């Protein structure tokens, strides 16, 4: 009973802060997610569901429709992962189901918003883009940077055109940013939960060493599907092109993560002298060739999943 009251109190306070304070929404959302995730060990499935319903009523009662995105990113996926932990699933099974559920929930959110807007683009407003571009040009003008660019042969209209293209590209890929935020939230909640669970000696599954993690092969096929759709709608004027490019952009942070894991594995097997050379190369690339370095890490993560460079034997989770 004490565990139930404690979990209810912490989760309710997190929902209250999330509803009333936008700057603290992310931190309180993570606290809510971790509390739900580990709450299964103190309450059980039925009591945790009751707590979740009470949290949801509090969240929507104060924040209204603004609470939907936080509910879908922090709340529901954490509950799903908690129930998986209660069923004694392995770490990567819990993580996979958490990420899959949050991607489906965000897709449902975006799809509902799209149809509620009668099929019109929910992310791009010509008036909004023009206002953003004008504001940026005004800032450049006030800071003196506009004159700096004009001296180098770049007119105000050319800058306006470039800013407009950047904003259109960013707005067209808002779904990808939503998906990335959602995956990061699930990943951080689970990792924080694992870390805290260890300190409390909870029977919680542990992940592999970072250097032994390998990208799940379905992600590779998501990237391939995205590239195929981009080629199919080449020119950037069809919905298929943006569906494909959003899939690719969503997969980029995942590929880079596993690329870094591959580099960590190789680093451990290098001699001290080789490490010194590679450290210098890595620092130079990060400082002066950031984008190519990120592309390299992403490709390394992708091809390691396909080719299994490290020859890591799959370990069965207990």
Select from 191, 207, 223 the last residue of a domain. Answer: 207
User: Is 104 in the same domain as 38?
Assistant: yes
Q: What is the mean pLDDT of residues 89-99?
A: 92
- Which residue has better confidence, 165 or 300? 300
In a domain, 136, yes or no: no
- pLDDT, one tens digit per residue, over 12-36 is 999 999 998 888 899 999 999 999 9
| pLDDT for 154 | 74
For the chain, the distance separating the N- and C-terminal CA atoms, rounded to the nearest angstrom, is: 30
Q: How confident is the model at residue 125 (pLDDT cuts 50, 70, 90)?
A: low
HSE (side-chain half, CA atoms, 13 Å) at 214: 17
Q: How far apart are CA 29 and CA 181, in angstroms?
A: 12
In a domain, 159, yes or no: no
User: Is 98 in the same domain as 230?
Assistant: no
Q: What is the mean pLDDT of residues 58-84?
A: 91
In a domain, 287, yes or no: yes
Q: How far apart are CA 95 and CA 184, in angstroms?
A: 11
pTM attached to this predicted model: 0.84
| pLDDT for 66 | 85
Q: Domain limits at 234?
A: 211-318
| pLDDT for 318 | 46
With contact defined as beta carbons under 8 Å apart, do 186 and 81 qualify?
Answer: yes
Q: Give the rounded percent of residues in the chain with a pLDDT score beyond 90.
A: 34
User: Is 203 in the same domain as 84?
Assistant: yes
- pLDDT, one tens digit per residue, over 99-121 is 999 999 999 888 887 777 655 55
Q: What is the mean pLDDT of residues 39-63?
A: 91
Of all residues in the chain, what percent are helix, strand and coil, respectively (each to 5)?
80, 0, 20
- Which residue has better confidence, 114 or 37? 37
Alpha-helical runs (H) found in 152-238: 156-172, 174-199, 217-232
In a domain, 135, yes or no: no
Residue 44 predicted with pLDDT over 70: yes
User: Is 309 in the same domain as 237?
Assistant: yes
In a domain, 257, yes or no: yes
In a domain, 157, yes or no: no
User: Is 228 in the same domain as 98?
Assistant: no
Q: What is the 3-state secondary structure (H, E, C) of 22-74?
A: CCCHHHHHHHHHHHHHHHHHHHCHHHHHHHHHHHHHHHHHHHHHHHHHHHHHH
Domains contained in the chain, number: 2
Select from 207, 232, 265 the last residue of a domain. Answer: 207
Residue 310 predicted with pLDDT over 60: yes
User: Is 64 in the same domain as 203?
Assistant: yes
- Chain-centroid distance of CA 227 in Å reads 20
User: Is 235 in the same domain as 93?
Assistant: no
Q: At 92, give phi and psi (nearest 5°).
A: -75, -25
Q: What is the mean pLDDT of residues 66-80?
A: 91
User: Is 298 in the same domain as 190?
Assistant: no
Q: What is the mean pLDDT of the chain?
A: 85
In a domain, 3, yes or no: yes
| pLDDT for 103 | 93
User: Is 71 in the same domain as 196?
Assistant: yes
User: Is 246 in the same domain as 287?
Assistant: yes
Residue 46 predicted with pLDDT over 50: yes
Residue 124 predicted with pLDDT over 70: no
| pLDDT for 192 | 94
Q: Could you tell me which of 30, 52, 26 has the C-alpha nearest to residue 39?
A: 52
User: Is 194 in the same domain as 271?
Assistant: no
In a domain, 262, yes or no: yes
Return the C-alpha torsion angle 246, 250, 256, 257, nearest 10: -170
- pLDDT, one tens digit per residue, over 184-199 is 999 999 999 999 988 8
User: Is 226 in the same domain as 109?
Assistant: no
Residue 236 predicted with pLDDT over 90: no
- Which residue has better confidence, 68 or 147? 68
Q: For residue 109, give Cα distances in angstroms to 14, 15, 160, 227, 299.
A: 23, 20, 33, 24, 31
Residue 286 predicted with pLDDT over 60: yes
């Amino acid at each position: 009973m004490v565990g139930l009251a404690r979990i209810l109190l912490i989760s309710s306070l997190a929902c209250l802060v999330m509803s009333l304070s936008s700057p603290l929404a992310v931190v309180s959302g993570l606290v809510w997610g971790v509390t739900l995730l580990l709450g299964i060990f103190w309450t059980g499935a039925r009591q945790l569901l009751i707590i979740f319903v009470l949290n949801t009523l509090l969240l929507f009662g104060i924040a209204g429709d603004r609470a939907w995105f936080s509910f879908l990113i922090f709340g529901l996926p954490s509950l799903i992962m908690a129930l998986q932990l209660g069923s004694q699933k392995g770490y990567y099974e819990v993580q996979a189901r958490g990420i899959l559920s949050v991607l489906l929930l965000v897709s449902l959110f975006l799809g509902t918003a799209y149809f509620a807007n009668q099929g019109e683009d929910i992310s791009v407003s010509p008036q909004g883009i023009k206002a953003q571009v004008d504001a940026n040009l005004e800032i450049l003008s006030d800071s003196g940077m506009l004159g700096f660019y004009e001296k180098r042969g770049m007119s105000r209209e050319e800058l306006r055109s470039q800013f407009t293209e950047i904003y259109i590209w960013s707005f067209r890929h808002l779904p990808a940013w939503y998906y990335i935020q959602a995956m990061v939230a699930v990943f951080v909640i689970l990792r924080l939960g694992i870390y805290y669970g260890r300190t409390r000696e909870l029977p919680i599954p542990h992940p592999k060493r970072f250097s032994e993690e390998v990208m799940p092969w379905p992600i590779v096929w998501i990237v391939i599907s995205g590239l195929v759709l981009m080629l199919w709608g080449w020119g950037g004027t069809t919905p298929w092109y943006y569906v494909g490019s959003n899939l690719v952009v969503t997969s980029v942070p995942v590929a880079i993560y596993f690329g870094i894991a591959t580099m960590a594995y190789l680093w451990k097997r290098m001699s001290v002298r080789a490490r010194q050379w590679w450290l210098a190369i890595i620092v130079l690339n990060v400082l002066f060739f950031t984008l190519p370095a990120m592309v390299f890490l992403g490709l390394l993560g992708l091809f390691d999943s396909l080719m299994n460079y490290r020859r890591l034997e799959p370990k069965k989770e207990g």
